[in-house]
Amino acid sequence: MVVTSKRTTTKSSVSANQRDESSLSLVHVEQALPISVVAPIVSSYNEKIRPVLDALENLRRLNIAKEGIQLPTIVVVGDQSSGKSSVLESLAGISLPRGQGICTRVPLIMRLQNHPLSKPELLLEFNGKTVFTDEKDVSDAINIATEEIAGSAKGISNTPLTLIVKKNGVPDLTMVDLPGITRVPVHGQPDNIYDQIKDIIMEYITPEESIISNVLSATVDFTTCESIRMSQMVDKTGLRTLAVVTKADKSPEGLLEKVTADDVNIGLGYVCVRNRIGDETYEDARLEEEKLFESHSLLSKIDKTIVGIPVLAQKLVQVQAMIISKTLPEIIKKINEKLASNANELENLPANLSSVADAMTAFMHILGLSRDSLKKILLTGDFEEYPEDKHMHCTARLVEMLNLYASDLENCAESDAKKNFLMEEIKVLEEAKWIGLPNFMPRTAFLTILQRKVKGISYMPVNFVDNVWNYLESVVISILNHHSSNYYQLQVSTRRAGEKLIAKKKKCSVQHVMEAVEMEKLTDYTCNPEYLLEYNRLIAQQESFVKEVLNPETNPTHVKLEGVGDIDVVNLRNYPHVLCQAFDLKARMIAYWKIVLRRLIDSIALHLMLSINELINNDLQKEICNDLLSPSGGGIERLLEESPSISGKREKLSRSVKVLRESKETVARIMDRIGIYD
C-alpha cells in the first residue's frame, strides 16, 4: 500500500499560487508523475524557460546585484557530507570534486542547458576568463579554478565560479552551490571557517528572490541540521525552502515519518533521492533509485511524487518557473527606476570644464553662491539652507557668544563693588596725598584704580574676539567647501584663502580690542548722562553711610547701601579722616565702570559686525581671487581638473548606467520573445 505524504497538499497550494499569477507565468508544469513515466530528466524542460534563464544569466554576468537588484536564484545549501555534490552530479550527469573536508570552497553557479549535442560542452567562467573542459576533466578544472580564486590551502572565498553544462537530457536549471557547513576547522583552514561559510550562505539565502534548496541526509535528525537553522532565520514560514533528502537507502527507517511530520517547516515540500554509489553510471544509478523506491519495504510507502532525481529535476524547474514569474516584473521595474535615478544623478553632476571661459563662469557662480549663503546666515538670520544645523544659525550663535562675554565682564572680580568696599580707595588716597586744599579729589587716585581694573579684564575682550573668529572660520570654510565641492582645485584654493582672510580679520580685531583697552586705561571720559545720574544717586547716600559706620553706639558690622548691597564696614572705622573722600571716589568708580564695560561690549560688537560685512561683501572675493591667481594657486586653469570625488562618482554612475541599460535591453529582448507583457 502506498502512503501519500502531507507534502502533496503543500505542493497543491504552491501550484495554486502559480495559477494566481497565471498572467505572468512562464511555464506550464505538468503534475508530478511516477518515476517510470517521467524519465528522462529533460521531460521537465519547457522551451519558454530557456530564454529567460539566458537573460538572468546575462544579468548575473553584468553583476546587477551590485546595483541593489536581486535575481531569482535557487541556492543549494547543506551541512558538510550531506550529499550535496552527489545531488548536483545526478542532475548534471557529470562528476564534481570529491574528497575529505569542504569540496566546494567558492559559490559554484551551475548553469544546466539542454542541448541536442552529440558531445557535451562544458566551460568555466571566473575572474573574467573562460576555460573549456569536458566531462572527464571537469572535476580537475573546477579544482584548478577554485585554487586560483580561493588559494591552494583549504580556505574559502565569496568570489563565484560559473560552470555551464550544455548537454542532451539535462533540465534547464541555474543553481548556486555553496560551501558545506562545518563547525570544526581542519588543518589549513582558518579558525573562523564556520563564520565565513555562514556569512556567504546568509548573503545568498536572505533575499526574498532566493529559493533555498536544503540538502539533508536521511541519516540525521532534520531538526539538528545547521543548514535548516540558517534557512529558518531568513524563511521562518518555509515558503521559500525545498528539502532534498539524500542517502535514503542508508537510513530508510523512519524516513516516511520525517517527511510526513515536517517538523522543520518545508513549505515547498520534500524530495527523497538515492545517491550514486561507487562507479555506477548515472543511468544505472537512476534505475537503482527507481527499484529502491518501488520495492523497498519502507521506502516504497513514500508517495512516488516526492521521490527520485527526475522528480527533483521537475520540482526544481517548477520552483524556478514560479520564482521567475513572481519576480521578473519587479526586476524590470527596479531596473527602470534605478536607471532613471542614476541617469538623472549623472546628468546633474557638474559638467567637465573644457575652457578657461567655462572655468571663469563656474568660478564666479561659486563665489556668488558662497556670498549669498554667508549673507543669509551671518547678516539676515535666514537659515533655510541649514534648517536643522544649529551651528550654522550664525546670528543666534553670535548673540549667545556676545551675551556670555557681557556676563563674564559684569560678574568678574573687578566688577564686584562690595568686595573690600572702600579699602582699595583708602589705600590709594593715602598714597596720593599732596600739599594742597583738603577737599580736592586727586585725579591720579581715580586713574590708578581704573587702570588696575581695566588691566584685570583686558584678556576677556581678546578671548571673545578670538572665539568669535574661530567660529566664523568654521562657518566660512564650511560654506566655501560646500559650494566648491565639485571642483577640487578651487576647494583647496578657497579654503586656503578663507583661512588666510580669517587670520587677517582676527588679527585686526585683536588689535582693535587692545586699542580699546588701552584707551580705557589712558583717560577717564564720558558724555553719557547715566554716569552723573548713577554718581548722584550714590553720593546722596554718603552722609548717612559715613554717619552710620562711625556711630559709636551701634558699631554696626554691615551697612546697607542702596544699589550696592550689604557692606562689611568693620575695618572702615579705622579711617574716619578719609572715609568721605574714599566714598566719593568709590561712587565715581562704580558709575564710570558701568560705562567702561558697556563701551567694551558695544564697540566690539559694532566692530565685529562691520568686519563681517566687509568680509562678505569685499574681502572674501578679493582674497580668493588673489590666491587662485597667485603662483601657488595655479590660475583659473586649475578648475579644469575635476575633483577625485566627482571623478569617482561620475565613473561609478557611468558604469552603473551602462550596466542598467544593458540589463534593460537584455530583459526587453526576452520579454519580446516570450510575450509576457501585461
Q: What is the pLDDT of residue 173?
A: 84
Rounded CA separation 288/295 (Å): 10
Rounded CA separation 341/25 (Å): 29
Which residue would you say has higher pLDDT here, 515 or 155? 515
Rounded CA separation 313/38 (Å): 10
Residue 57, pLDDT > 50, answer yes
Rounded CA separation 524/536 (Å): 18
Per residue in 160-175, pLDDT (tens digit) is 899 999 888 888 888 8
Q: What is the pLDDT of residue 207?
A: 87
Q: What is the pLDDT of residue 406?
A: 97
Rounded CA separation 169/118 (Å): 11
Strand partners, 246: 217
Q: Model-level pTM greater than 0.75?
A: no
Q: What is the pLDDT of residue 113?
A: 84
Q: What is the pLDDT of residue 40?
A: 43
Q: What is the pLDDT of residue 263?
A: 81
pLDDT > 90: percent of the chain: 36
Q: What is the pLDDT of residue 390?
A: 93
The verdict on whether omega for the bond into residue 40 sits within 30 degrees of 0, i.e. cis, is yes
What mean pLDDT value characterizes the chain? 83
Residue 564, pLDDT > 50, answer yes
Rounded CA separation 430/669 (Å): 107
Question: Of 25-29, 297-301, 305-309, 557-561, which has the strongest mean pLDDT?
Answer: 557-561
Beta-carbon-side half-sphere exposure of residue 518 (alpha carbons within 13 Å):
6
Question: Of 185-189, 471-475, 671-675, which has the strongest mean pLDDT?
Answer: 471-475
pLDDT band at residue 414, thresholds of 50, 70 and 90?
very high
Q: What is the pLDDT of residue 19?
A: 35
Whether the CB-CB separation of 81 and 216 falls below 8 Å is answered with: no
Q: How many CB atoms lie within 10 A of CB 423?
A: 15
Whether the CB-CB separation of 621 and 367 falls below 8 Å is answered with: yes
Which residue would you say has higher pLDDT here, 511 or 5? 511
Residue range 463-474: mean pLDDT, rounded: 97
For 57, the grid coordinates are 544569466
Whether the CB-CB separation of 595 and 529 falls below 8 Å is answered with: no
- DSSP state, 441? P
For 378, the grid coordinates are 551671518
List the one residue out of 477, 478, 468, 483 whose CA is nearest residue 497. Answer: 477
Q: What is the pLDDT of residue 401?
A: 97
Which residue would you say has higher pLDDT here, 645 or 365? 365
Residue 663, pLDDT > 90, answer no
Per residue in 111-154, pLDDT (tens digit) is 888 888 888 899 998 888 899 998 888 888 998 998 888 887 77
Residue 480, pLDDT > 50, answer yes
List the one residue out of 89, 94, 147 whose CA is nearest residue 123. Answer: 94
Which residue would you say has higher pLDDT here, 39 or 293? 293
Which residue would you say has higher pLDDT here, 648 or 124? 124
Residue range 72-85: mean pLDDT, rounded: 86
Residue 606, pLDDT > 90, answer yes
Residue range 6-11: mean pLDDT, rounded: 38
- DSSP state, 379? I
Residue range 8-18: mean pLDDT, rounded: 37
Q: What is the pLDDT of residue 49?
A: 66
Q: What is the pLDDT of residue 489?
A: 73
- DSSP state, 376? I
Burial of residue 215 (CB within 10 Å: 0-12, 13-18, 19+) is buried
Q: What is the pLDDT of residue 672?
A: 65
pLDDT band at residue 94, thresholds of 50, 70 and 90?
confident
Q: What is the pLDDT of residue 448?
A: 93
Per residue in 496-507, pLDDT (tens digit) is 899 999 999 999
Residue type at position 32: A
Which residue would you say has higher pLDDT here, 530 or 363? 530
